[in-house]
Amino acid sequence: MSQAPVFPDGFLWGAATAAHQIEGSPLADGAGPSIWTRFAHTPGMTLNGDTGDVACDHYRRWKDDVKLMRDLGLQAYRFSVAWARVLPEGTGRINQAGLDFYSRLVDELLANGIEPLLTLYHWDLPAALDDRGGWLNRDSADWFAEYASVMYKALDGRVKKWVTLNEPWVITDGGYLHGALAPGHRSLFEAPIASHNLMRAHGAAVRAYREIGAHEIGLVVNIEPKYAASDSEADRVATRRAHAYMNEQYLHPALLGRYPEELEDVFGAAWPEWPKQDFELIRQKLDFVGINYYTRGVTEANDSYPLKAGSVRQPLATYSETGWEFYPKGLTDLLVWFKQTYGDTPVYITENGAAMYDPPAAEVDADGRGRVRDPLRTAYLRQHIGAIHDAIQAGVDVRGYMLWSLLDNLEWSLGYSKRFGMVHVNYATQQRTPKDSAHWYSGVIRSHGRSL
Ligand code: LGS
C-alpha cells in the first residue's frame, strides 16, 4: 500500500469471543448443561481432557474484561449467549439469573462506548434439547425461535446487531459428520438433516426478529475460497464440490432460496428431497452477512470421505499453529466473489485471526509490565486487514472487523493448546497481558486503519 489506507466512516473495529470458550462456571446460577459441557466431560473427546469449567473465568471477571476492551480502544465486541443459561431446558422456563448476566454485560459495554454484537448460537446447544434429537429434530427451528424471542424482548434496543448462528458448516461437519465436535456424531445421513434444520432455525429466528426487533440481524458463515491444485478435469470438479459443500451450502439457501446442485453428488443416497416451503422459511431478508475467514483451500481430487476432495499443502507458505495456510489475498477474492454471487448485502468480518507461536509465558519488563512478542500474529492481522481494504476498494460493502479473539481461550476439542488471543491469558492465575499484537491493533483502531 503506497498511501495510507482509508476505511469508510463508521467502519467498526472490534474483537470476538464465544460463551463456552471464555465464560467458565457453566452450571452457575441455575444454568442447564450444554452439549459442550457433556462432550468435554466424556473421556477422550478433547485434547488432555480439557473442559470449559473454568476457561477464562469471564463469567466472574466480565467487568474487568470490559475494562480491558475499553483500554484497548475497541469500538465493538462480538460475544455469544449460552442458551442453557437463559433456558436451562432449552425451551419453557426462563432462568432470570442467566438472562441478567448478559443484560449486565450489555449495559457495561454500552457504558464504555462499546457496541455489542450478539451471537445467539455459538455451538452450545442445551443438553436437554439434544436429548430430544437436537438439530435432527425438525422442531429445533421452533425451539430456537422461542429462545431468540426471549433474547430480543430482553435486549433489542440495547443490542442493535444480532447474529442467528455461528458457522452452520462447522456445526454439522464437526458435530454430525466427522464427530470431532459436540455432539460427536458420525453420519453421512444426519449431516444434511442437521444443516437443513439449522437453516430453518436461522430463518425462524429472523422471522421472529421482524416481529419483535427493530435493528439488524444476520447469519455468520465460515467460508474460504477454493482454488484448483491443477488444471486437470478431476481437480476442477473436486474444487467445485468443495466450494459447494463449504461455501454455498448455507449462503445459497439463506440468500437465494436453494441448494447448489453439487450437494447431491457429495451426499449421494443421503441427500433427501426437501419440502419446497422450507426454502421460504430459510430465505429471509438479512441486514448483513458475517464472514469468518482464516485460510484458503488449494483443492485436489482424492479419496477422502465423503467429499472426494482435499487441500494440498503449499511448500513455500507460512502455516499457523492449527495448520492453516496464511493467505490474505484469499479474503479479497472471497469478498469479491460474495458480492458477485449474492449482491449488495453488507458484510462484517466477524472473525479473523491466528494461533501463532507465542512465547510460553508473558515476560515481565523492567517496569513490571508483562509483554508477549507475537510478530507473526501482527503480520497476519496487518495483511488480512489490508486484504479487506482491497475488497472495499473493489466495491464490496464491508462494514467492520472483529478480530478472533480478544483473549486466549478454549479452542473446542483442541482444548487450551491453541492460543488465538491478542491478549495472553495465564490460566493458572487468570492474569491478562495484552500481546504486542493488541498494542498494534489499538493503534490501528485509533487511526481508523491509517497506521496499518
Ligand atoms: O475458536 C474458533 C475459531 C478458531 O478458528 C471459533 O469458535 C469458531 O467460530 C471458528 O471456527 N474458529 C476457527 N475457524 C477456523 C476454521 C478453519 C478451517 C480450516 C480447515 C482446514 C482443514
Burial 261-300 (b: 16+ CB within 10 A, else e): ebbebbbeebbeebeeebbebbbbebebbbbbbbbbbbbb
Close Cβ partners of 439 (under 8 Å, ≥ 6 residues apart)? none
Query: From CA 20, how far away is CA 34, in angstroms rounded?
Result: 9
436-450 burial, b for 16+ CB within 10 Å, e for fewer? bbbebbbebbeebbe
Could you say which of 23, 167, 300, 325 is catalytic?
A: 167
Sole residue written with cell 507473526: 376
Give Dmax over CA atoms of the chain in angstroms. 67
Model confidence pLDDT, tens digit, residues 383-426:
999 999 999 999 999 999 999 999 999 999 999 999 999 999 99
For residue 320, the SS3 value is coil
Name the pTM for this structure: 0.97
DSSP designation for 389: H
Q: Which ipTM value was assigned to this complex?
A: 0.96
The pLDDT value given to residue 369: 75
Given the residues 23, 248, 300, 351, select the one marked as catalytic: 351
**Residue 216 catalytic?**
no
Nearest-angstrom CA–CA distance, 410 and 106: 22
Rounded distance between C-alpha atoms, residue 16 and residue 403, angstroms = 6
Tens digit of each residue's pLDDT (9 = 90 or more) over 252-300: 999 999 999 999 999 999 999 999 999 999 999 999 999 999 999 999 9
Question: Atom 4 in ligand 1: which residue has the minimum CA distance?
Answer: 411
Question: pLDDT by residue (tens digit) across 234-265?
Answer: 999 999 999 999 999 999 999 999 999 999 99
Mutation test residue for ligand 1: of 80, 167, 250, 408, the one with most atoms within 8 Å of CB? 167
Residues with CB under 6 A from ligand 1: 18, 21, 166-167, 170, 222, 292, 294-295, 324, 351, 404, 411, 420
Rounded to the nearest angstrom, the distance between the alpha carbon of 167 and the centre of ligand 1 is: 9
Strand ranges, E, within 189-311: 216-222, 226-228, 288-292, 297-301, 309-311
CA distance 410 to 163: 21
**Residue 167 designated active-site:** yes
Q: Please say whether the beta carbons of 183 and 124 come within 8 A.
A: no
